[in-house]
Amino acid sequence: MFDFLNKNRRHIRARHNIPYAQSNTQGDVTVTSVVIPCTGADYVEEALLSAEFARRFAPEMEEIVIVSDQSEQAFGKLPHNCRVVTLNVPHREESYRYKQIYRSRLIKIQAPLQAKGDGILMIDSDLNLLKSPDIRMHPGHLYSSFRNGKMIAKLEGAEAQAIPAYYRPSIRPYFEDHVNGAYLAATRQTWKRICPLWLTLFQDTWELMNDSQPPTDQLPLAALLDMLDLRTVNLGEWANWPVSKKIGGSSATIPADVIGAHGGFPLSEWQKYLLDPTQPLTFKGQDYTRKVRYLTDDEKKQS
């Protein structure tokens, strides 16, 4: 009730969800590396497509890096300036219901540090860049889009001994909005601070928590932003535009303002976009995306 009197909360609120238009959020480091995490053979096709979009629509990028548990050979012919980094990440016990999702989070959390550039944008493998990301960054800042939802809700119903102690005094997990992990940009210096702690908190959280839900990387990310006292900057809705939510289930064109188009199945519709960005596309609705992205391992085998 009296949270507004909490000095630390006021401090973090002032450093959270800051519009990019605010001049003090803009620095000198531009994006030079696009990083695409990809876990599992079934995601190779969409990662390659995402890399092709980055090559075509952000040609000034110095490198496109696919970070995966798959070998480079699994990807076949790569787009220009694209390379594959293969990471060996641990497996969860056989009884764990979300083994592939868990491993995908381990790959993602370590992916930014596989880039060589100083300005690093990490995007999900189902996000396609339709314009070059013009982001000018300061160290100590994380640039993203935001979405509604309290991250702390992921802990609802959990036994007290399963909730890591560092979430109790945290601030950002209790906010009504959070950074969207599908599109994250920061300087290399900032990623070097984020990634080791992110990995530690993610593993600790989901070793304690049970497997009644998919393991999210965004809850520990919200907590570490407090711990590292980082500023989070909002790039606006066009940076990470939800395709299925906006136009899924009908035939429509992609708005010209979109920078990053997130989701959109089947992938064959995106091949049409590559031929003509102005033609109407027909993507499946939002329910389809939710069904296919968050399956248990057993559900995935049966689908």
Is 110 found in the same domain as 59?
yes
- 3-class SS of residue 51: helix
- Angle separating helix axes 218-227 and 188-208, nearest 10 degrees: 120
In a domain? residue 302 = no
- Alpha-carbon Rg for the chain in angstroms: 19
Count structural domains, the chain. Answer: 3
User: Which domain, by its residues, includes 46?
Assistant: 31-134
Is 96 found in the same domain as 72?
yes
- 3-class SS of residue 109: helix
Higher-confidence residue: 6 or 176? 176
How confident is the model over 164-209, as pLDDT tens digits? Answer: 999 999 999 999 999 999 999 999 999 999 999 999 999 999 999 9
How far is the C-alpha of 146 from the C-alpha of 164, rounded, in Å? 25
What percent of the chain is modeled with pLDDT above 70?
98
Mean predicted confidence (pLDDT) in 140-162: 96
Longest dimension (CA), the chain: 58
In a domain? residue 63 = yes
Number of H helices, E strands in the chain: 9, 17
Is 120 found in the same domain as 98?
yes
Is 103 found in the same domain as 224?
no
- Reply yes or no on whether the pLDDT at 221 is more than 80: yes
How far is the C-alpha of 186 from the C-alpha of 31, rounded, in Å? 8
Pairing between strand 251-252 and 18-19?
A: unpaired
pLDDT of residue 1: 40
* Confidence band, pLDDT 50/70/90 cuts, at residue 2: very low
